[in-house]
Every structure is written in structure tokens, then in C-alpha cells.
Structure 1
Amino acid sequence: MTITFVVNQVRKESAGYTTTALAYEAHKRGHTVYYAGVGDLVYQADGRIGAHCRKVPDREFRSLHTFLEAVVETEKELTSSKNWDVLWLRNDPAADMEKRPWAQDAGVLFGQLASQQGVLVLNSPDGLIKASNKMYLQYFPESVRPQSVITRNMADVEAFYRAQNHRIILKPLKGSGGKNVFLVDKKDDKNRKQIVEAICRDGFAIAQEYLPAAKKGDIRLFLMDGEPIIKDGKVAAIQRVQQAGEIRSNIHQGAKAKRATMNKEMQAIIDTVGPLLRQDGMFLVGLDIVGDKLMEINVFSPGGLIHASEFHGVDFMEDVITAVEKKVGDVTRND
């Protein structure tokens, strides 16, 4: 099959990214693999979606590092959706919010047209539009998510703050990577208004109940078509433990990752959210879980699958690409 990965900018990819490992696994299996940045997408005169892509060279590589180096050094070539089997949207719109606002929605908009042209688009671009910010969490039952208020009104935040015994989490509705996430309690009384104003410069703020279990970090759990990825009895999940004095569990914010195993709280959340994720075409997602609550659903480019593979001593990338191959095979048979 021919699979095109769309990322924010190819030159800013890393060998440690899940996207790199997925592309490498597809290449090792003999598939044609392309990389394209969001800015490389194009609507062509013949009505087809295309992209100025970097093709993975047809040779073996010693590591993810040499693989990605070869991709970056490759010259771009214009390709067409008529030659693509899969278009995988792995760009993070939130990463382009400040400096490249034009790039935020480009992936899903081009992806919608590519889907109409017979390309298998992952995750579903229609589903991604629905899940393009943290409001998506509110589609799921209250039993699995923390109490929240989404607003731009300071009075709403103040009322929720008092109702939550003067201890809440504040963060932007649209964002990723732990940026502008704050734990607010009584010691922040003088700064609370400024924090809300800073968040609301870029949109809406989420005020969320503080979960004491967050002191132990969170679990990043990967689901594929609404089900956990399990290989040799091991689940694709990691526990992320924040640094001392830090509330954010994002690895690139200094959190440490370690092995995680399935528990009954995780299974209950999967049983609750899995059907809607599958219905919305969310092929590969990362759930961020604290205790028995789902804090976030990462639908664009969830990372950490490499860490999960390393900790458990299995290659979860193999199962993901196998599932993509099956999807392409099913499409071909239906045609």
C-alpha cells in the first residue's frame, strides 16, 4: 500500500515520535511511505488532492534516527491522492495556533476531500473536526470525566472555584502539550484573574475539578478502533509521573514515563468511551486517565507508543500497521 503521513513540518519531526516509528514499521514491510507537512498539501487542477511529499528511500535503515535523516534529506515530489491508499493525519493543530494559524485546520479540510476521493483517511477528518478541542470530552458520560466549566466569563470561573473548595485546574480549551495548564488554589488569589485572562486571549478556558489522584501522575492509554492495543498480554499504556512541584504529566514538560498495566478503572473507561470513538472514526487515540476519570482524549498525534513498546518489550507498532493493512484490504474488497 501507499501511505502518506501528514505532520506539522517534516524538518521538525523527531526519531522519538510515534509517527516516526509507525512510518518506519510501514517501510520495513515494503509499503511506499511518504511524508508531507501541512503546508505541502495542494488541491490540483484535475480536482485531486495532492501533496509535495518526501518519499522514504527504498533501502534498509539501521535505526529510527537514520530513517528520519534520510526522509528529511529527500527532495520533495508532487504526488496525487489517486496513488494513495492511506492519508494519515498526524499533525497537531494546537502546535500551529500561534505562529501558523493558517495550518490549524488545513489537514482535516484536505483530508475530507481526500476521503471523498477514495483514500482511507486516519483518523476520520469528520471525526477530527468534532474532536478538534477539549470540548470533545463533554460528549462522553459524566461518570468518566471530571466536573468542568467552559467559559470566557470570570464570574463563572469564580463560582466554580468556590464550589470546588478553592482548588481547580485551569487550561485552554484548545491546546496541547501541557501549555498554559495551571493548578489554582488560595495562594493564587491575587493572580487568578490574570491567569484566566491569559488563557482567554486565545479562546475559551476550562475550569476543571482537581483530582487528588493526579499527584501520582496519569496514564496514557492507547486505543485502536475503540479497543485497547494488547500484545502478548501487555497493554499499550504508560504511566507519566510529573516532576516535583509540577502538575503537568507531559513527557516533554519533564515528566518521567514508566510501565503501566490495565486496571478495572481503565477498563470501565474503555467500555464507556470506546463505542463513540469507534463511531466517530477515531482509529488511534491516546486517553489520559487520572484515577477513574478521563482527563483528555488525544486524537491528532498521540505520543508515547514508543515508550510503551520499550517498557513492555513488545512492538505495538506492528499491530497498528497490521490493522491499517486490514482496513485497506477491506476497502479494496468492497470496491
Structure 2
Amino acid sequence: MKIGFIVNQVKKEDPNFTTTGLAWTAHKRGHEVYYMGVGDLAYYSDEQVGAHARKVPDKKFNTRATFMDGVKSAAKEKITSAGLDVLMLRNDPAEDIEKRSWAQSAGMIFSQMAVKQGVIVLNDPQALSTAINKMYFQHFPEIVRPKTIISRNVEDIKAFFEETRHKMVMKPLQGSGGRNVFLVTKKEASNINQMFEAISRDGYVVGQEYLEEAKQGDIRLFLMNGSPIEVKGKIAMLNRLQKEGDIRSNIHRGGKAFKGQISDTMLELAESVKPKLIKDGMFLVGIDIVGNKLMEINVFSPGGLGNASELHKTDFITPVIEAIEKKVAYKKIYGDNISNVRIATI
């Protein structure tokens, strides 16, 4: 299998990233692995989508760190869709909002053409283009979501603040990683205008009811082909706790990760979103749960799968590569008779 990983910028990849774990595992299983940043993508005169990619050297790596060193030191070489079986879209458009706006949708645009040329793209790039901001979340059943408003009118946000009995979260419609996320209570009410101004510089503002259970952090549950990743009775999940004085539980923002315990409520929430995730060709997804509600559905490069593997002492990454191997086998049998959005979640 020849598999390419599209990331924001190869030079910014880290040994601890989930993408590193996926790529390293694919390499150890004997597959040809390529890394390419969004800026490395190209469309050639022979109408092939391609890239100036770094091929992982054909050698053994004992650690994630040495593997990533090997990736970054590899010379770039030209590849095209004709030489690839799979592309994994592991770039986060939100990372490019401020300084590289041209890069936000580039991965999806080029990948849509790669699909036409017979490459399996995960997650499905057409569906991802509709999920580039948090409005995608509003397409899921109302029962699984907190009460929400999305507006660029500060009076709308203030009215919602009254509805929520003076406790809400404000955040950008398009963004990730905990940037510009504020908890607003009566104490901070006088600062709503300033918070609104900071968030709205980049677009729409989301107001969301605050769930008291958030004090215990959140649960990130990993889904593959629409269902929780499960290995020998253990489910891929993390309980993320925010650092003191911060409402954000993102690990790279200082949050701490623990094993957590799966509950029937969490499994019911996962089952509720499964039909749409399958319909949209969302192969690998992270859902963030607080209490009996979903806070977010992460379809762009969900992270933390390596952390979950370490905490549960279970390899949750190999099953992802095994699932991709099956998709490649199906593609060889069915060819163009099976769509990318279908093969993505079987």
C-alpha cells in the first residue's frame, strides 16, 4: 500500500502527534509512506494531482522521534495520484486561519480531484468541505447538542447570555485548539463586548450554554467507521481535565489526560451520530463529551489517539491502519463502482 499523509507543514510535525503514530505504524507494516504539507500539493499538466513529498526512508526506526527525524531529513520527490492508494487528510484548516488563509481549503480541493483519479481519501474531502467550521455540528440531532447561537451581532449574543441564566461559553465558529474560548458569567458580563470583538475579527461568534459537568473535564472518544475503536474490550478514549483557572481541556493547552471510564450515555451519544458520520464518509473522528451532551465533533486530524493507547496500555493505532488496508483491498475489487464516501466507512 502506498499512503500519503497531508499535514499543515511537515517541519511542524511532532513525534507525539497522532499522525506520527499512524504513519510510523504503516511504515512498520511494510507500506510506502509519504508526508506532504498543504503547500507541497500540485496539479500537473498531465491532469494528475501530485505533490513534492517526503518518502519515509526504507529503514527501521525504533522510536517515534527517530521516525520523525527520518521524515524531516528526507529529500522531496515528485509523486502523483497515479502512484498512491490512499491519502489521509491530517491537516487542520484552523491552524492556517491567521497567516496562511490560502491553505485552509487547499488540502480538500486537491484531494477531491485525487478521488476522481482513483485515490482513497480519508476523511472524505467533499464532506470535509462542509465541516470546515462548527456549523457542521448543528446538523446532528438536537438532543445531543448544547443550546447554541451563532451570530456576528453582539446584541444576539447578549440576549442568549440572558437565556442561559448568565453562564455561557463564547468561541469562534471556525477554529480549534482552544483559541479565543471564553467562559462568561455575571462576573465577566461587562467584558462581553471585548470578547465579542476579539472573536469576531475572524468571523462568526458561537455562544453555547455552559454545562456544569465541564468542571470534571471532557471525554474524547475515538470513532472509526462510525463506531468506537475497541480492542480486547478496551475503548479508545481520554478523560481530559483542564488546568486550574482554564476552561479548555486541550492537552497542548495544559490539560491533563486520564484513562476515563466509558458509560452507556457515551455509547448512546456515539450511536446517535453514527448514521451521519457514515453518510458523510467520516472514517476517523474524535467526539468530545461533557455530561450527556456532545461539545464538538472533530473530523479534521483528531489528536490524542497515541495518548489513549499509552493510558490504556492498548494499541489503538494498528486497527486504524488495518482498516485502511481493507479499504485498499475493496478498492482493487470494486474500482470505480464504489464511491469514496462509501469506502471511507466500510
What's the TM-score once normalised by structure 2's chain length? 0.96
2:8 maps to which residue?
A: 8
Deviation at 1:225, TM superposition (A): 1.1
Q: Give deviations 1:252-311, integer Å, cap 9, x for gaps.
A: 110000002320111111111011001100000100110110000111110000010001
Post-superposition Cα deviations, 1:136-194, rounded to whole Å, max 9, x if no partner, equal 11001111010000000111101110011111000000001000000001111221111
RMSD (Å) for aligned C-alpha atoms: 0.6
**1:212 aligned onto 2:212:** yes
1:238 aligns with 2:238: yes
Q: Are the aligned partners of 1:43 and 1:49 in contact in 2 as well (CA < 8 Å)?
A: yes
Unaligned stretches of 5+ in structure 2? 336-346
Once the two structures are superposed, what CA deviation does each residue of 1:90-137 show, in whole Å capped at 9, x if it has no partner? 000000000110100000000100001100000000110111111111
Give the match's secondary structure for 1:288. strand
AA in 2 matched with 1:241: L
Distance 1:72 1:291 in 2: 41
State the match for 1:147 in structure 2: 147
> Which residue number corresponds to residue 84 of structure 2?
84
Report the identity percentage: 56
Aligned letter for 2:154? M
* 1:234/1:261 contact within 8 Å kept: no
Q: Which residue of 2 aligns with 1:312?
A: 312
CA distance in 2, matches of 1:189, 1:261: 35
CA distance in 2, matches of 1:67, 1:253: 25
Aligned AA (2:112):
Q
> Structure 1: which amino acid aligns with 2:293?
K
* Structure 1 residue runs without a partner (length 5+): none
Aligned to 2:63: 63
Once the 2 structures are TM-superposed, how far is the Cα of residue 198 of structure 1 from its aligned partner? 1.1
Q: Which amino acid aligns with 1:145?
A: R
User: Aligned equivalents of 2:307 and 2:71: distance in 1?
Assistant: 22
Letter in 2 for 1:56: V
Give the match's secondary structure for 2:328: helix
Partner secondary structure for residue 190 of structure 1 = helix
Between the aligned partners of 1:196 and 1:265, the Cα distance in structure 2 is: 34
> Where does structure 1 differ by over 2 angstroms across 4 or more consecutive aligned residues?
none
SS at match of 1:177: coil
Q: Which residue of 2 aligns with 1:44?
A: 44
Q: In structure 2, how many angstroms separate the alpha carbons of the residues matched to 1:118 and 1:265? A: 39
User: d(CA) in 2 for partners of 1:171 and 1:160?
Assistant: 14
CA distance in structure 1 between the partners assigned to 2:172 and 2:135 by the alignment: 10
Letter in 1 for 2:215: K
Match of 1:189, SS state, is helix
* Secondary structure of 1:33 counterpart: strand
Shift of 1:49: 0.1
| Residues in 1 aligned to 2:210 and 2:270: alpha-carbon distance in whole angstroms | 22
Answer with 182-191 or 88-97: which moved more.
Answer: 182-191
1:329 aligned partner, one-letter code:
A
Aligned to 1:182: 182
Find the counterpart in structure 2 of residue 111 from structure 1: 111
* Residue identity opposite 1:216 in structure 2: Q
SS of the equivalent of 2:190 reads coil
Matched length: 335
Other structure's SS at 2:317 match: helix
Which residue number corresponds to residue 282 of structure 2? Answer: 282
Separation in structure 2 between the aligned mates of residue 202 and residue 62 of structure 1, nearest angstrom: 42
1:234-263 deviation digits (Å, cap 9, x = unpaired) = 000000001111100000110000002320
Q: Would you say the 8 A contact 1:235–1:261 is kept in 2?
A: no
Code of the aligned partner of 1:34: Y
Distance in 1 of aligned mates of 2:84 and 2:74: 19
Q: Secondary structure at the match of 2:20?
A: helix
TM-score (norm 1): 0.99
For residue 223 of structure 1, give the secondary structure of its aligned residue in structure 2: strand
